Structure 1
Amino acid sequence: MLERLSWKRIVIELLLFCLPALLLSIFIGHLTLLLLISALCALLWHFYNLLKLSHWLWLDRSIMPPPGRGSWEPLFYGLYQMQHRNRQRRRELASLIKRFRSGAESLPDAVVLSTESGHIFWCNKLAQQMLGFRWPEDNGQHILNLIRYPQFAEFIKRKQFHEPLTLQFNKGSYIEFRVMPYDEGHMLISARDVSQIRQLEEVRRKFFTNVSHELKTPLTVLQGYIEMLGDDDTRPEIRHKALTSMKGQTERMSSLVNQLLTLSRIEAAPRYALNEKINVPVLLDSLAREANILSNGEHQLHFDVDAKLQVLGNQEQLYSAMSNLVYNAINHTPSGTDIYVSWVLTPRGAQFSVKDNGPGIEQQHIAHLTERFYRVDPSRSSQTGGSGLGLAIVKHVLNHHDSLLSIESQLGVGSEFRFVLPGRLVVEK
């Protein structure tokens, strides 16, 4: 390694320049003039090396420094080492920035970096998609010029960031903003789409409201009859009517609770491998007997079943979906209605269909039929004991079996509920 530059080395170098003048002065005299000439040569030599250094620093694009001699050699080498360290630090810094940006891009949130005054100097791609930013065009823009909501402006100006701010954007989505000051005079603003969480909260609120309403009605009826039966003077025929009504209300609550448990179990169940072989014709034979008992001869039931068509799936869930569709047709159509149940093989897969020639359903209701507790006619559903959960159960079962419920209905003509299990689930005959 080269020796570092020191004052001793500079003195020795100066003496070397003066040594020829001293030797010549012994023979020809004129020591002062010779020393001045030696000093001028030393000055010219240093000036030449200074020009080489300036050329290397500002004009020469090579990495290696020019060759140096004497006191300039450690100087050139030291500058080269300093440049090398600076390049290495810049590479490390660039790599660190690249890793930071890569990590920020992989975050599930939109990230915006700004000054304390609100001027943006970086944002990730999700911020461009979610908030409509353009990068790098918006570099240096004030964030309040891009997010123009009074609540957001007040949130930024108030500088109380311990609680997040949720805004409903024009497109209907809900965005939650969090601001975290960092370093000195900088802010990190994160934004997350919480629309689904808000929807789930709304569904949960409606769910509890509906369950409370569904349970409150039969409980009120039971409470009234219990108070009436507590009177010893109640006539036998009234007591019998009260007990019959209480039994019906109890069965209604029991059915509601069972359907809620079924729906909860299906929703919480993991995705099955769908490798259980199901003998659907046997299931439908049992379902036909139960349907005839439920109908009590008031409907004309027709079953068209391919006796050899079996599928892979979850037997309990699939039977629940099929039975709900058949029971709905019986419960929500008047006496004398023809109900056609079919289980056949089609080019798309195994198709199950329940069709009737009942009064039909208005088109505005069809899109909402699979929602929990949704009823086309609440008064009629209350009379028939419907809870509004049957088709919600069907929807979740079919999701587990990679299928969808198709509903077609026309007023005065009838309705058809149909789903097709994909061909990969059909057992080869």
Structure 2
Amino acid sequence: MYHRFMWFKSVLRVITFISLTSYLGYYFDQFAVGVICGGIVILAWQYWRLHRLNYWLWHSKKITPPNTRGVWANIYEGIYAVKLNNRNKRKALGEIIRRFREGAEALPDAALVVDEKGNITWCNRLARIELGIRWPEDTGQNINDCIRSAHFKKFFKAQHFDHPIEITSPINPSKVLEIRIVPYAEQDLMLLIRDVTRVIQIENMRKDFVANVSHELKTPLTVINGYLEMIPEDGSMPAPMMHKAITEMRSQSIRMQSLIEELLVLSRIEASTERAFEKLVNVPQVLWQIQAEAEALNRDKQHRIFFDISPILYVYGIETELRSAFSNLIFNAIHYTQPRGVIQVTWGFEGQQAKFSVKDNGDGIAAEHIERLTERFYRVDKARSRTTGGSGLGLSIVKHVLSHHNSKLVIDSVVGRGTEFSCRFSPELISLIESDKGN
């Protein structure tokens, strides 16, 4: 509580004390000694008060001041009021910082702040995901060491930030990032980073869609038209030939329908505007559902399929896309592994990353084919693909889904010994949640 300081009262106390000591000195015929003793007592008293003030400021854990009187009471109360004011300001500033961080994490773009020399001072979660920045380990790291692009270095050095630039993602070569730099605070700069891969790819996607459809539908349409031309107008055709024509046309129409559906799935994934890192996906539940579907699909080939699934390992992503990728890999293993083969499906930790893998003991894939397996409509054995109903789009779908989640498909295969398809998810996308398969 503030008490108004009375200068007159304080001076009067000092004068009264000096007068008393002077009178005692005069009474004992030692006037000078009395005055000096009084001054020494007052000086010692003041130094004692300074000592208590110093101890309270630097060593005491109490925020409340010691009890005292006079001018020192006002000094203590003044310092105490400043402390309370500073503490309240720190609380208010902490609340502002908390709201700023929450707002920054809610941004749809990656955000990163650097000083005038380009050293990183802050970044949000999306920046850590898109640029592979470790936080807070990379605090003070130069931005050019994180974005290793000659185009970006030249752009940053020129200091002309009127227009954004586009670069290849430093951690995902299949992604294109748009970087816009704006002034921030007094001398700092803020980098706003957006994934524009789908914007760039959308026109190519349309062209590829038309080209692929025209190429892949040509054969089944030719077969159907051929049989239709063979059938007389009056329908008088031997029963065996009619049965064969209808069977083949039905098979080709089913193939076309499957092809169109997979093309639409692939196009939807490529053009998706859904953000991949906002929703938590219950991957164990997804895999348990796929396991039931795989067992139904496996009735004819009688494979031994083993699922080893961590029940607590979830990831941030898009559930429909991850389900499509995982099911494609598992169903491909069932289709292309010889009857009564062994298939192992694993979902768990590998170091700090989450790993999904499908391993079989099938025929294996020659090394010259592995790099091209994720291309649209690429087939190692076209005749075999037609027999199994493959369209050549499954692994392309997997590739685009994993690219959308900052991952990639890894293929390890030895001819005659089997193949393993796997992918890994970064620690930033992982969440551990207690789960029960029965729920």
Compute the TM-score of the two structures, normalised by the length of structure 2: 0.50
Q: Which residue of structure 2 aligns with residue 198 of structure 1? A: 200
The alpha carbon displacement at 1:157 in A equals 0.7
Is the partner of 1:87 in helix, strand or coil?
Answer: helix
Q: Which residue of structure 1 aligns with residue 182 of structure 2? A: 180
Structure 1 Cα separation of the partners of residues 7 and 232 of structure 2: 113
1:41-93 per-position Cα deviation (integer Å, ceiling 9, x unaligned): 11011011111111111111111111122211111111111111111111211
Q: Which residue of structure 1 aligns with residue 245 of structure 2? A: 337
1:235-288 per-position Cα deviation (integer Å, ceiling 9, x unaligned): xxxxxxxxxxxxxxxxxxxxxxxxxxxxxxxxxxxxxxxxxxxxxxxxxxxxxx
1:129-149 per-position Cα deviation (integer Å, ceiling 9, x unaligned): 110111111110110011110
Q: Which residue of structure 1 aligns with residue 96 of structure 2? A: 96
Q: Which residue of structure 2 aligns with residue 171 of structure 1? A: 173
Q: Which deviates further from its counterpart, 31-40 or 114-123?
A: 31-40
- Distance change (3 Å), C-alpha of 1:200 and 1:47: same
* Aligned residues of 1:359 and 1:413 also touching (Cα < 8 A): no
Q: Which residue of structure 1 aligns with residue 111 of structure 2? A: 111
- Distance change (3 Å), C-alpha of 1:139 and 1:33: same
* Aligned residues of 2:119 and 2:142 also touching (Cα < 8 A): yes
- Report how many aligned residue pairs link the two structures: 264
* Aligned residues of 2:113 and 2:188 also touching (Cα < 8 A): yes
Q: Which residue of structure 2 aligns with residue 287 of structure 1? A: none
The alpha carbon displacement at 1:22 in A equals 4.4
- Distance change (3 Å), C-alpha of 1:366 and 1:166: farther
* Aligned residues of 1:13 and 1:71 also touching (Cα < 8 A): no
Q: What is the root-mean-square deviation of aligned Cα atoms in Å?
A: 4.5
* Aligned residues of 2:164 and 2:178 also touching (Cα < 8 A): yes
* Aligned residues of 2:181 and 2:191 also touching (Cα < 8 A): yes
- Distance change (3 Å), C-alpha of 1:202 and 1:34: same
Letter in 2 for 1:148: R
* Aligned residues of 1:361 and 1:415 also touching (Cα < 8 A): no
Structure 2 Cα separation of the partners of residues 300 and 11 of structure 1: 131
1:279-323 per-position Cα deviation (integer Å, ceiling 9, x unaligned): xxxxxxxxxxxx9xx99649999xxxxxxxxxxxxxxxxxxxxxx
Structure 2 Cα separation of the partners of residues 360 and 99 of structure 1: 55
Q: Which residue of structure 2 aligns with residue 58 of structure 1? A: 58
Within-5 A mapping of 1:87-166: 87-166=87-166
Letter in 1 for 2:55: H
- Distance change (3 Å), C-alpha of 1:25 and 1:415: closer
Letter in 1 for 2:182: M
Structure 2 Cα separation of the partners of residues 298 and 168 of structure 1: 63
Is the partner of 1:112 in helix, strand or coil?
Answer: strand
Structure 2 Cα separation of the partners of residues 92 and 178 of structure 1: 31
- Distance change (3 Å), C-alpha of 1:412 and 1:113: closer
Structure 2 Cα separation of the partners of residues 179 and 118 of structure 1: 11
- Distance change (3 Å), C-alpha of 1:68 and 1:360: closer
Within-5 A mapping of 1:21-420: 21-24=21-24, 27-169=27-169, 170-203=172-205, 297=235, 337-339=245-247, 355-356=250-251, 370-371=262-263
Structure 1 Cα separation of the partners of residues 388 and 143 of structure 2: 54
- Distance change (3 Å), C-alpha of 1:72 and 1:368: same
Structure 2 Cα separation of the partners of residues 19 and 298 of structure 1: 141
- Distance change (3 Å), C-alpha of 1:63 and 1:360: closer
Structure 1 Cα separation of the partners of residues 56 and 146 of structure 2: 47
> Which runs of no fewer than 5 residues in structure 1 stay unpaired?
214-290, 302-333, 341-353, 375-398, 418-429
Structure 2 Cα separation of the partners of residues 361 and 21 of structure 1: 116
1:91-149 per-position Cα deviation (integer Å, ceiling 9, x unaligned): 21122112111111121211111101100011111111110111111110110011110
- Distance change (3 Å), C-alpha of 1:359 and 1:122: closer
Is the partner of 1:177 in helix, strand or coil?
Answer: strand
- Distance change (3 Å), C-alpha of 1:298 and 1:18: farther
Compute the TM-score of the two structures, normalised by the length of structure 1: 0.52
Letter in 1 for 2:44: L
Structure 2 Cα separation of the partners of residues 13 and 189 of structure 1: 65
